[in-house]
């Protein structure tokens, strides 16, 4: 497996990146950020899990119950919005839907070098995926590991990001040109290659247009296209 990575830069786009969104829960880092990590994990899984294993580190491991991180992570997996009144009951809702939830408090430092770390594995009879994220404040998150379909990548930057799995390498170059023609800024790119599959992870600056996403999804050779 081969991986290529280009340089990156991060930026804040509004005051809400600092103060956080309107939400149910006590903390933008431990609640809103955790919802976003859970949502990102579900986006790469793209199915209903039978089991969700959530490994916490440092601050998340110490305070996840009191700060609402548990119900926030599960809310993200279930697709609940920040201000959805079901957020505080998400764990019991998931269990009633047949999803087993396992929260693990890990000792020691986070392997992703941040105190607000959640490492999520989603599993059913057909597949397993993994996503590790950190909550950096104001509801913003960074994805530090994604594992799916035999690939494993380690991004470093903030979202949004576009994950492409394709049947030929040239498609990533076509994507990059189309994205840049639409004046969307790519600030980082990671690529991995397997025998017959090609993964490209584009880190995007600010908003990604829905119409552009639809256009790219319809191109021949796209196996998976996920906007995180």
The answer on pLDDT for 223 being more than 70 is yes
Residues 108 and 40 in one domain: yes
Domain presence at residue 86: yes
CATH number at residue 93: 3.30.1330.90
Residues 30 and 130 in one domain: yes
Residues 31 and 100 in one domain: yes
Domain presence at residue 222: yes
Residues 67-81: tens digit of each pLDDT: 789 999 999 999 999
Higher model confidence: residue 89 or residue 63?
89
CATH number at residue 177: 3.30.70.260
What residues make up the domain containing 216?
A: 160-228
Residues 159-217: tens digit of each pLDDT: 899 999 999 989 999 999 999 999 999 999 999 999 889 999 999 998 999 999 999 99
What is the number of domains present in the chain?
2
Domain presence at residue 7: no
Residue ranges of the alpha helices (H) in the chain? Answer: 16-19, 33-45, 58-63, 69-78, 90-96, 170-181, 210-217
* Residue 6 banded pLDDT, cuts 50, 70, 90: very low
Residues 145 and 168 in one domain: no
Domain presence at residue 194: yes
Domain presence at residue 2: no
Residues 29-75: tens digit of each pLDDT: 557 899 999 999 999 999 999 999 999 999 888 888 767 899 999 99
Q: What is the pLDDT of residue 158?
A: 80
User: Last residue of a domain, which of 121, 156, 191?
Assistant: 156
Residues 86 and 185 in one domain: no
Residues 135 and 200 in one domain: no
Residues 172 and 133 in one domain: no
**Cα first-last separation, the chain:** 23
Residues 43 and 134 in one domain: yes
Domain presence at residue 9: no
**Cα dihedral 201/203/208/211 (nearest 10):** -20
DSSP conformation class of 31: I
User: Last residue of a domain, which of 113, 141, 156?
Assistant: 156
The pTM of the full predicted model, rounded to 2 decimals, is: 0.85
Domain presence at residue 5: no
Q: How far is Cα 36 from Cα 33, in angstroms, rounded to an integer?
A: 5
**Cα dihedral 87/91/92/96 (nearest 10):** 110
Rg (CA), the chain: 17
Q: Are 146 and 126 in contact (CB under 8 A)?
A: no
User: Last residue of a domain, which of 105, 128, 156?
Assistant: 156
Q: Are 213 and 225 in contact (CB under 8 A)?
A: yes
Residues 188 and 210 in one domain: yes
* Residue 83 banded pLDDT, cuts 50, 70, 90: confident
* Residue 2 banded pLDDT, cuts 50, 70, 90: very low
- CA distances to 15, 38, 66, 96, 160 from 71, in Å: 26, 10, 10, 14, 23
Residues 130 and 165 in one domain: no
Q: How far is Cα 129 from Cα 147, in angstroms, rounded to an integer?
A: 6
Residues 139 and 29 in one domain: yes
The answer on pLDDT for 119 being more than 80 is yes
Q: What is the pLDDT of residue 65?
A: 76
Residues 177 and 199 in one domain: yes
Domain presence at residue 29: yes
């Amino acid at each position: 497996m081969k991986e290529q990575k280009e340089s990156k830069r991060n930026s804040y786009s509004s005051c809400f990146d600092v103060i956080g969104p309107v939400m149910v829960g006590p903390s933008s880092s431990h609640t809103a950020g955790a919802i976003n990590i859970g949502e990102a994990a579900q986006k790469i899984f793209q199915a209903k899990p039978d089991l969700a294993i959530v490994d916490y580190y440092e601050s998340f491991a110490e305070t996840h119950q009191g700060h609402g991180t548990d119900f926030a992570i599960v809310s993200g997996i279930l697709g609940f919005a920040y201000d959805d009144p079901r957020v505080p009951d998400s764990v019991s809702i998931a269990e009633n839907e047949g999803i087993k939830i396992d929260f693990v408090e890990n000792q020691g430092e986070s392997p992703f070098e941040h105190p607000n770390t959640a490492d999520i594995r989603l599993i059913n009879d057909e597949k397993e995926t993994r996503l590790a994220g950190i909550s950096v404040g104001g509801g913003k998150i960074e994805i530090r590991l994604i594992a799916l379909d035999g690939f494993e990548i380690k991004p470093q930057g903030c979202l949004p990001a576009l994950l492409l799995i394709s049947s030929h390498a040239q498609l990533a170059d076509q994507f990059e040109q189309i994205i840049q023609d639409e004046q969307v800024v790519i600030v980082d790119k990671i690529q991995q290659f397997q025998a017959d599959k090609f993964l490209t992870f584009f880190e995007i600056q600010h908003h990604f247009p829905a119409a552009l996403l639809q256009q790219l999804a319809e191109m021949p050779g796209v196996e998976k296209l996920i906007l995180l």
